[in-house]
Structure 1
Amino acid sequence: MFSRAERKGLRLAGGLTLGFVLCFAGVAAAVLLGHAESGDGGPLLDPYLVRVARFTLWQAALSTLLSVALAIPVARALARQRRFFGRVWLLRLAVVPLGLPALVAALGIVEIWGRQGIVNDLLHLAGLDNPVSVYGLAGILIAHVFFNLPLAARLMLAALDRIAPEHWLTAANLGMRGPALFRLVEWPAIRRVAPGIAGLVFMLCATSFTIVLTLGGGPAATTIEVAIYQALRFDFDPPRAVLLAALQILMTAALLGLIALIGRPDEEGATAGRPIRRFDGRHRRLSDGAILFLFAAFTGAPLIATLTAGLSADLGRLALDPLLHRALATSLAIAFASASLCLLLALPVVMTPRLADRGGTDATTRFLARALPATGSLILLVPPIIIATGWFLILRHFGDTTRHAPAIVAIINALMALPFVVRVLEPAFRTHLARTGRLALSLGVTGANRLLRIDLPALRKPLAMAFAFAMALSLGDLGAIAIFGADGFVTLPWLLFSRMASYRTADAAGIALLLGFLCLLLTLPSASAEPETKGRGNA
């Protein structure tokens, strides 16, 4: 598949990528360990740490339970009602939270569920005087379900669409309806994917930072990552931040190990490939319509509220704000640099393991083939805020941390996007190599000639999709910038968070509109397709 020179170049690129990622994260980890040794020798797990860890797991468990449980009726309704006006738009609405920055969604949720929000206004009209509080555990759960319910529903819908059409025909011939149809046909498909979905949602909620920081409401609702931020930004207690970082890494490693033990779902049975026909939908139109209406209202209301509040802000004044100009320019520059670096790191991660596909390779190639995929997912084990904490402790010894902060934030954001970019590029590159690898090698088209004439034209679409997705993740991220953010270093998420914290909600709404529009512009074109019926990756 590769010439000798190409194999040598790929080994070099893979080695450089592996060394860069491990050194960048390793330096941060070494500094954290060094500060841990300079601690005061207090108890390893004091009551505060125990309480923070317990709340982290508790809110993640509740969020997972609600998201997965509510996703089942939504996915079943979408699977039954395959032909109704607006189904495509409803599926597209379900992917909007995936491309929306958490900070923008939090502002919309406050507009709907806050003290002056629509929900509390309706409760007041109904004669209920006790308003719903969006700050604390309730707000965290609402926000997590807002993000993860559509994700879980789409993954379950894909599993239901993979059920062999012959099963539906047999069920209709046997007169199955209601509980029997769910128990014998639908539930086996959902059960195969539910543990993986639950593990993914739990991981996302346990490592949530922006949502908890914005809607936590105080010390009673603090997760480990938020506690790390507070230990550095407010208390400047590096030993405490290091201990919390170690606790977060241990917890994340345990979660990743649990997800790995769950494994992949079993493959479905063979099918003749006939179109899917559901015969039970006509009896459930009213109930399914109600379920889908509630789902659309729950998902769409914060988006509409964000749009309405943003348009009602003084956009003309905001457009002339020099601080907004600086934040926008900084965010775009960091996002472009981060996405470019992410692609440079992702290509060796995707391509180098292909050297070992045919066996007979040397020990270095086999080592790189095993190590690079794990390195690409390192950020899942060591969250961005922990790496940012280590580099913050390094840079403070050189005076002003904001001088080198943009480069550090860009690298951290690139590592944050790396697992997702690899998921986009790896299947496309594997298919492309299977189609063109032998032919290009037999024709002597190698090196830069092969890259420019064969590889780039064929992989242009997935590369553009990966680049746009990496830019969107960087644009909307508050994790790394939360450690370095200051008057001299401002991005759009940090400016939005600052305006929300100072109760300048009108300005915050206008900034949220701009940030949300930019991120959705980058992510929606590649994410709005319907779930495939023959299987899909879990990006």
Structure 2
Amino acid sequence: MAGRTQPVSSWPGISAAALVAALILGTLATVGLRAETSGGFNPSDWAALRFTLLQATLSAAFSSMLAIPVARALARRRFRGRRVLIALLGVPFILPVIVAILGLLQVFGRSGWISDVLGVFGLPPIQIYGLHGVVLAHVFFNLPLATRLILQGWQEIPAERFRLAAQLGCDGMAMFRLIELPMLRRVLPGVLAVIFAICLTSFAVALTLGGGPRATTIELAIYQAFTYDFDLGRAALLSALQLALTAAAALAALKFSRGDGFGAGLNRAIRRWDGGTPLLDAFWIIAAATFLLLPLASVVISGALGLFELPTLVFRAAAISILVATISTMLLLLLAVPMAVSAATGRYGIVELCGILGLAASPLVIGTGLFILIRPVANPAMLALPVTALVNAVMALPFALRILVPAARDTIERHRRLALSLDMNKRTFFTRIIVMRLRPQIGFAAGLAAALSMGDLGVIALFADAQIATLPLQIYRLMGAYQMQAAAGGALVLLLLSMGVFWILDRGGRWHAEA
């Protein structure tokens, strides 16, 4: 479509992309300038860097290695509920981090279910705080992602490869060595790099499960530099280091994600002749499902009991979270829809590039820059909610564009000639054709953004004071005060709100719309 007349204007999307680029690059430039005034890293900063790299490496390795047998079992077996189970693998992505952490504590914590069972046999309880707790939480979040990515690699292998291998008399080990192992060599490095990049910017996990100075990540060190030392120069220098690490990991993920595939097949359903051991495959599937669903079940069970002990502050924080999520979702749509249209015309690749800038910077890095910019002219605490909503919208923008751009490109290509022949003006084409045709995708993107914003525990921790708290932050405060029953009730409320807002917006987008 490049170079051809378009029935829609690209300038709104270009303007939105410029605003996003100015926000991200401007805050990063501010961080870089402020970092020059710092005295350098101290021993605790180097310790945070070493722990960050160690936990990210271990988390990526365990998540990816455990995902291989789970994905292989799902690729080889067909059973009732398989599609539902694969769909459930996407739940941790929109699950509020603080909810998952509370569920993990109730299952694997010192007073958790497993420790209670160990106590019956006279064994000591599990110690979840520290490096192993951080890695456990990251595996919980990233095992489903790794499984989905590796399973996609298995599904891309043409069925004819397995058919030919069976005709040549290859057994299961030979099929793995000749067909599956080359696929893993191509897919696995990218999976490792993606999860490594995600774990680099983990904040809430380290905040709740870090367990002290020896288990501090760079993101947590940035937070501590603000809240405890109020050392803006050190926070800025750490933010610059965080940006460099995240950008390097993102580039590595992009590089390793490329590679030659297995060629085209006839799109037949994959039939496997290397059945292997059904009991072993069943073990991996059941173990993965139990590991993912048990913490959620614990949140529901304990949260139902804790609903009767919720303080008034929880309901006030829930209202604030709904407000922040609403503002964030509206900001996202105002940015994402016109940017998707501009990117779909094929003439402005820079628009899509601006949209994915958020993947190269963590929320705390952007929050650091905004704090430095706002502090000379206003009290940052007074702007905590709008700043949190803005950063949440920018963080969700890359995912929204991945949802909207393909559908926008297809819509423009299908209706472009007819709109031009009818001399339809660009505003009418945008409102009557693009928006109406993209309603399912817009609803899905809005639901995803609202759920992510509802469960975010990041920028709000930098800006909020004692009087302002979103629901995730209030739950964290309850956990810090050892009010675990009330925290469990708040976690259940947050879980219901996050899943509910996602379902309502996603379903609303598809109501009376063509799927």
TM range (shorter): over 0.9
Distance 1:6-1:209 versus aligned 2 partners, 3 A rule: same
Distance 1:305-1:278 versus aligned 2 partners, 3 A rule: same
1:246 deviates by 1.1
Whole-Å Cα distance in 1 between the matches of residues 282 and 505 of structure 2?
28
Q: Paired residue for 1:329, among 319, 324, 327?
A: 319
Whole-Å Cα distance in 1 between the matches of residues 130 and 443 of structure 2?
39
1:10 matched to 2:10? The reply is: yes
How big is each residue's C-alpha offset from its partner over 1:239-277, in whole Å with a ceiling of 9 and x where there is no partner? 111111111111112112222322423233221222222
How big is each residue's C-alpha offset from its partner over 1:3-61, in whole Å with a ceiling of 9 and x where there is no partner? 97956x422x234223322332344345434543444xx3x333222221111111101
Aligned twin of 1:115 = 110
Aligned twin of 2:294 = 301
Aligned twin of 1:200 = 194
1:213 deviates by 0.8
1:512 matched to 2:491? The reply is: yes
How big is each residue's C-alpha offset from its partner over 1:314-345, in whole Å with a ceiling of 9 and x where there is no partner? x2452xx4322321221111111111111221
Aligned length: 506
Whole-Å Cα distance in 1 between the matches of residues 269 and 148 of structure 2?
20
Asked if the contact 2:90–2:145 (Cα under 8 Å) also holds between the matched residues in 1, the reply is yes
Aligned twin of 1:253 = 247
Aligned twin of 1:28 = 27
1:262 matched to 2:256? The reply is: yes
Q: Paired residue for 2:93, among 98, 101, 106?
A: 98
Whole-Å Cα distance in 2 between the matches of residues 4 and 290 of structure 1?
57
Aligned twin of 2:469 = 490
Specify every segment of 5 or more residues in structure 2 that has no aligned partner in the other structure, as ranges: 508-515
Deviates more, 1:271-280 or 1:468-477: 271-280
- The within-5 A match list for 1:523-538 is 523=502
Query: What do you get for the CA RMSD once the two structures are aligned?
Result: 2.3
Amino acid in the other structure paired with 1:288: D
Q: Paired residue for 2:336, among 346, 349, 356?
A: 346
SS at match of 1:397: coil
Q: Paired residue for 2:434, among 445, 451, 455?
A: 455
Whole-Å Cα distance in 2 between the matches of residues 17 and 260 of structure 1?
25
Asked if the contact 1:75–1:157 (Cα under 8 Å) also holds between the matched residues in 2, the reply is yes
SS at match of 2:89: helix
Whole-Å Cα distance in 2 between the matches of residues 191 and 413 of structure 1?
35
Whole-Å Cα distance in 1 between the matches of residues 367 and 504 of structure 2?
31
Asked if the contact 1:485–1:494 (Cα under 8 Å) also holds between the matched residues in 2, the reply is no
How big is each residue's C-alpha offset from its partner over 1:61-103, in whole Å with a ceiling of 9 and x where there is no partner? 1101101101000001011112x23323322332221120111
Question: If the length of structure 1 is used for normalisation, what is the TM-score?
Answer: 0.88
Identity fraction in percent? 42
Aligned twin of 1:536 = none
Amino acid in the other structure paired with 2:165: A
Distance 1:160-1:263 versus aligned 2 partners, 3 A rule: closer
Aligned twin of 2:76 = 80
1:524 deviates by 6.5
Deviates more, 1:140-149 or 1:161-170: 161-170
Specify every segment of 5 or more residues in structure 1 that has no aligned partner in the other structure, as ranges: 358-368, 529-539
Question: If the length of structure 2 is used for normalisation, what is the TM-score?
Answer: 0.92
Asked if the contact 2:130–2:212 (Cα under 8 Å) also holds between the matched residues in 1, the reply is yes
Whole-Å Cα distance in 2 between the matches of residues 153 and 254 of structure 1?
24
Distance 1:481-1:384 versus aligned 2 partners, 3 A rule: same
Distance 1:324-1:192 versus aligned 2 partners, 3 A rule: same
Distance 1:30-1:270 versus aligned 2 partners, 3 A rule: closer
Whole-Å Cα distance in 2 between the matches of residues 122 and 316 of structure 1?
27
Distance 1:450-1:258 versus aligned 2 partners, 3 A rule: same
Distance 1:203-1:523 versus aligned 2 partners, 3 A rule: farther
